[in-house]
């Protein structure tokens, strides 16, 4: 983990060199948030905080990294003492965050970091990619799980993820979002996520003889065997299973018309005493395909979702940003020419209203404000560079996301054309914004 310090943008290092050399390494507060909800999403599910904390706890540059930086022409005029500073810098700041598994909305800070500006700035790129990636996958998983209406959803997308490490992180985030498990073995080892696997067409092709491959695989894996049906002909494969007297825990359909095939497979299994055998479907599934299959009464018990989930294919990036909101005790903001790129000043908290077990709206306010009857979402997770509070288990986080999502109004959770959840900005923040505007050069707003 310690060698992650260079996984950052060059400008984080040039800016911090400038802060150092002009003696401006003053206390700063940054907030990480998402600008907008990718359609057709009505909510996001926060994820990735655990890896963010681990990174901050371990943050350091090793000597090879320092030597690399010193040798770069861009740093030719930077003082040598900056690199001596970098060689010993650790993250010593305070972090508040919205816990993983909690639904969040645009402009709401998922993370608030207060630290000397150099420390807070160096970690921007890593935190953004870790948190917005996992948040996008947890969100997609929650949508798939919602569409499955109580049936299990498994994450099967490692092979289509953005490199092998992204596959491991996607498996974790999918579990946070409600998946029952993943095919990814490293995610199981690292995070304890239940792992699931069946067999591939190649195994059956290798034999050439489908029935023999089923027999042999069942011999080695007598419990929980899942046999793949569509290497040659799905319904013929069912016949062979029945003829051979096999009793697989499940069968998997991976191509063809899943609705009609699953019905016919179910009928044949049931007719032959295989009522316990589950039907698992995979094949370019996503929340919309699952909805359509269940609307067609497809008797599918488990959905394996791959590419659409591990890449959040219809919205593979969230517009995550990390904005300076306070510097040396004073509020700061970006007062851009385009209204949608404005950021709000001041240390914030998100206050959530709840009525009869449903969330009814949020106020983004200053940390110092109070909104009676609301629940504040950001909690302290690091103080002076150290983790505070208990480390939740991943299983608890997953349970939390189920509970939390059940409190969102139905129309906000809707998978298409959701209603917009109400998020307002407090008068305290509006006042801070005015303070910032008055202090800086006049802003000319152009359309």
Report the site for a copy of itself in 116-145 (rule: CB under 8 A): 117, 121, 124-126, 128-130, 132-134
Which listed range, 154-162, 243-251, 361-369, 398-406, lies at the site for a copy of itself (CB under 8 A)? 154-162
Residue 68 as a binder of a copy of itself (CB under 8 A): the answer is yes
Place of tokens 């645009």: 106
Rounded Cα–Cα distance for residues 404 and 259 (Å): 32
Nearest to a copy of itself of 248, 362 (CB atom): 248
Per DSSP, the three-state class of 209 is coil
Residue 329 as a binder of a copy of itself (CB under 8 A): the answer is no
Find the binder of a copy of itself among 39, 84, 216, 270 (CB under 8 A): 216
* Cβ-based neighbour number of residue 393 at 10 Å: 11
First and final C-alpha spacing in the chain: 45
Is residue 131 within 8 A of residue 48, CB to CB? The reply is yes
Binding-site size, a copy of itself (CB under 8 A): 119
Distances (CA, A) of 223 to 214, 226, 228, 249: 13, 9, 15, 7
Residue 195 as a binder of a copy of itself (CB under 8 A): the answer is yes
Residue 330 as a binder of a copy of itself (CB under 8 A): the answer is yes
Rounded Cα–Cα distance for residues 333 and 335 (Å): 6
- Going through 219-370 in order, the beta strands assigned E by DSSP cover 226-228, 250-253, 278-282, 302-305, 320-327, 330-331, 348-355, 358-366
Give min distance, CB of 299 to a copy of itself, in A. Answer: 19
Give min distance, CB of 272 to a copy of itself, in A. Answer: 19
Which listed range, 83-91, 333-341, 382-390, 396-404, lies at the site for a copy of itself (CB under 8 A)? 333-341
Which listed range, 106-114, 201-209, 349-357, 397-405, lies at the site for a copy of itself (CB under 8 A)? 201-209
Tokens representing 68 are 């690399």
Is residue 246 within 8 A of residue 218, CB to CB? The reply is yes
Nearest to a copy of itself of 19, 175 (CB atom): 19
Give min distance, CB of 347 to a copy of itself, in A. Answer: 15
List beta partners, residue 252. Answer: 228, 280
Rounded Cα–Cα distance for residues 244 and 209 (Å): 13
Residue 78 as a binder of a copy of itself (CB under 8 A): the answer is yes
Residue 255 as a binder of a copy of itself (CB under 8 A): the answer is yes
Rounded Cα–Cα distance for residues 76 and 69 (Å): 10
Is residue 59 within 8 A of residue 90, CB to CB? The reply is yes
Find the binder of a copy of itself among 135, 231, 349, 401 (CB under 8 A): 231
Half-sphere exposure of 254 (CA within 13 A, CB side): 16
Binding mask 345-374 for a copy of itself (x = CB under 8 A): ------------------------------
Residue 324 as a binder of a copy of itself (CB under 8 A): the answer is yes
Find the binder of a copy of itself among 247, 263, 288, 313 (CB under 8 A): 313
Find the binder of a copy of itself among 39, 74, 267, 411 (CB under 8 A): 74
Which listed range, 190-198, 289-297, 361-369, 405-413, lies at the site for a copy of itself (CB under 8 A)? 190-198
Find the binder of a copy of itself among 36, 62, 81, 200 (CB under 8 A): 200
């Amino acid at each position: 983990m310690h060698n992650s310090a260079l996984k950052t943008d060059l400008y984080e290092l040039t800016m911090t060199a400038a802060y150092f050399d002009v003696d401006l390494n003053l206390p700063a507060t940054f907030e990480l948030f998402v600008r907008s909800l990718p359609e057709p999403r009505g909510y996001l599910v926060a994820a990735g905080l655990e890896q963010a904390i681990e990174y901050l706890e371990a943050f350091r540059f090793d000597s090879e990294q320092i030597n690399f930086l010193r040798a770069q022409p861009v740093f030719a005029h930077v003082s040598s003492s900056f690199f001596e500073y970098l060689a010993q810098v650790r993250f010593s700041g305070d972090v508040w965050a919205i816990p993983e598994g909690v639904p969040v909305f645009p402009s709401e800070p998922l993370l608030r970091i207060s630290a000397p500006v150099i420390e807070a700035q160096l970690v921007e790129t890593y935190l953004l990619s870790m948190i917005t990636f996992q948040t996008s996958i947890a969100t997609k998983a929650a949508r798939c799980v919602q569409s499955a209406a109580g049936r299990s959803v498994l994450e099967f997308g490692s092979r289509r993820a953005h490199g092998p490490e992204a596959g491991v992180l996607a498996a974790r985030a999918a579990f946070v979002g409600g998946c029952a498990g993943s095919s990814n073995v490293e995610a199981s080892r690292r995070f304890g996520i239940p792992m699931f696997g069946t067999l591939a067409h190649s195994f059956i092709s290798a034999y050439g003889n489908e029935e023999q491959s089923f027999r042999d695989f069942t011999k080695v894996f007598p419990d929980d065997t899942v046999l793949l049906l569509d290497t040659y002909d799905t319904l013929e494969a069912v016949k062979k299973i029945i003829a051979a007297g096999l009793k697989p825990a499940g069968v998997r359909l991976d191509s063809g018309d899943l609705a009609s095939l699953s019905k016919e497979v179910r009928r044949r299994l049931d007719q032959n005493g295989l009522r316990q055998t589950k039907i698992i479907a995979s094949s370019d599934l996503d929340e919309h395909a699952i909805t359509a299959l269940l609307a067609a009464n497809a008797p599918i018990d488990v959905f394996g979702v791959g590419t659409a989930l591990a890449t959040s294919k219809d919205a593979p990036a969230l517009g995550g940003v990390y904005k300076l909101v306070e510097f040396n005790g004073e509020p700061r903001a970006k007062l851009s020419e385009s209204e949608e790129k404005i950021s709000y000043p001041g240390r914030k908290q998100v206050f959530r209203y709840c009525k009869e077990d449903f969330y009814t709206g949020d106020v983004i306010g200053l940390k110092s404000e109070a909104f009676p009857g609301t629940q504040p979402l950001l909690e302290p997770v690091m103080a002076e560079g150290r983790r505070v509070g208990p480390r939740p288990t991943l299983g608890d986080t997953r349970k939390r996301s189920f509970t939390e999502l059940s409190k969102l109004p139905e129309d906000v959770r809707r998978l298409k054309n959701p209603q917009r959840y109400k998020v307002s900005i407090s008068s305290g923040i509006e006042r801070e914004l005015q303070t910032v505007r008055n202090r800086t050069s006049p802003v000319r707003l152009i359309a």
